[in-house]
Structure 1
Amino acid sequence: MKYTYIDSYSAEDMHEHSKKWFSELSFIKDEQRFLINLIHSFAIKPIDKNEFSKTEDFRNDIEENQKRLNPIIKQVQKHMNQLEIMIDGVNQLEMEQAYRKTHKKLFQKVNQFLLDYRTVKERGFAKLSSILKSTKQKKVLGNPNYQISTIKKEKINS
């Protein structure tokens, strides 16, 4: 979902945006660590070259995303620390305008990052899902001990 920016956000609104961004980006940072570990767990299983290539593509996409994430988190932290400019009661028009301009840029940057990350995740999960399906079928087909059992109905004596 794409958000639109309103130029007249209050200091409280901008602070809430910043806190929400920081929270979402921090969650994504943890999630990316989890996804890298998940991808590694796929890589240690016996999979063919094509499937391995899919996991590597997903891992590379996550790592590229991580490179973009850290600077954005730092920018959001710095922006949060500078909020005092808006609420200190001192009339600093130029600094306040600069803060608003930075907020707008961050709003767009974070929004775009979240959209891009969602796309990376969707594609990656589709790849991992297809690997899971194909390895599950291989296990069933390649396992001579796999048998479908039937449940026998017993007659109930009344």
Structure 2
Amino acid sequence: MRLRPKSDYLQKASWVNLYVLTKYWESDIAFYKDEIRFLYGLIDRYFIWMTQDEHIEKVSALSAELNQLDKTFNSLSERMVKHRSRMVLLLENAFVQEEEVFRAEHEVLEDDFKRASVDFRILKRKLFEVTETVMDEEKLQHLLTR
């Protein structure tokens, strides 16, 4: 993901660049949503085998975070579709005042997307760490109770 230059890039970027950037974000969101589906499946697959309350609580909390991120990405996706539609309208009927508002909205959308992307990566790492720990400890617990 690109880092926004400190200059006035968003105020001067071409419509084509902003459109391509928005399409790139939409593609990333589609990928994140696929990963979220995978993570839900991972949680479901191993949750039924958990016996320790501590593990159940950790995974339940992470599942709730994943659910919230899923909603965030759904909202971002809807906002991006509307944003892209507005961009097309502005291209057809360019008004300076509307263009300024659009570019400000673009900046907010970019910030929200970056924040959600970082949150997702952190949550994914936590889920993998917890899953690995739970699998090892639950397997050991299962072997000890035989």
Normalising by the smaller structure, the TM-score range is 0.7 to 0.9
Matched, 1:80 2:80: no
Match of 1:122 among 97, 121, 125: 125
Percent identity between matched residues is: 21
Q: Is the 8 A contact 2:76 2:113 kept in 1?
A: yes
Match of 1:96 among 99, 119, 126: 99
Structure 1: 5+ residue stretches without partners: 144-158
Task: Provide the C-alpha distance between the structure 2 equivalents of 1:100 and 1:85, rounded to a whole number of angstroms.
Answer: 14
Task: Provide the C-alpha distance between the structure 2 equivalents of 1:66 and 1:34, rounded to a whole number of angstroms.
Answer: 12
Q: Quote the offset at 1:135 in angstroms.
A: 2.8
Q: Quote the offset at 1:2 in angstroms.
A: 7.4
* Structure 1 residue ranges, 4+ long, deviating more than 6 angstroms after superposition: none
| Letter matched to residue 134 of structure 1 | E
Matched, 1:11 2:15: yes
> Based on CA coordinates, which of the two structures has the bigger radius of gyration?
1
Structure 2: 5+ residue stretches without partners: none
Residues 66 and 91 (structure 1 numbering): CA distance in 2 closer, same or farther, change over 3 Å? closer
Find the counterpart in structure 1 of residue 135 from structure 2. Answer: 132
Q: Is the 8 A contact 1:42 1:55 kept in 2?
A: no
Q: Secondary structure of 1:4's match? A: coil
Q: Quote the offset at 1:11 in angstroms.
A: 0.8
| Letter matched to residue 28 of structure 2 | E
Q: Quote the offset at 1:111 in angstroms.
A: 0.8
Task: Provide the C-alpha distance between the structure 2 equivalents of 1:41 and 1:59, rounded to a whole number of angstroms.
Answer: 13
| Larger helix percent | 2
Find the counterpart in structure 2 of residue 60 from structure 1. Answer: 64
Q: Quote the offset at 1:136 in angstroms.
A: 3.5
Find the counterpart in structure 2 of residue 111 from structure 1. Answer: 114
Task: Provide the C-alpha distance between the structure 2 equivalents of 1:25 and 1:134, rounded to a whole number of angstroms.
Answer: 34
Task: Provide the C-alpha distance between the structure 2 equivalents of 1:141 and 1:43, rounded to a whole number of angstroms.
Answer: 20
Q: TM-score, normalised by structure 2?
A: 0.85
Q: Quote the offset at 1:140 in angstroms.
A: 5.2
Task: Provide the C-alpha distance between the structure 2 equivalents of 1:55 and 1:19, rounded to a whole number of angstroms.
Answer: 33
| Letter matched to residue 34 of structure 1 | F
Q: Quote the offset at 1:67 in angstroms.
A: 2.1
Aligned length: 142
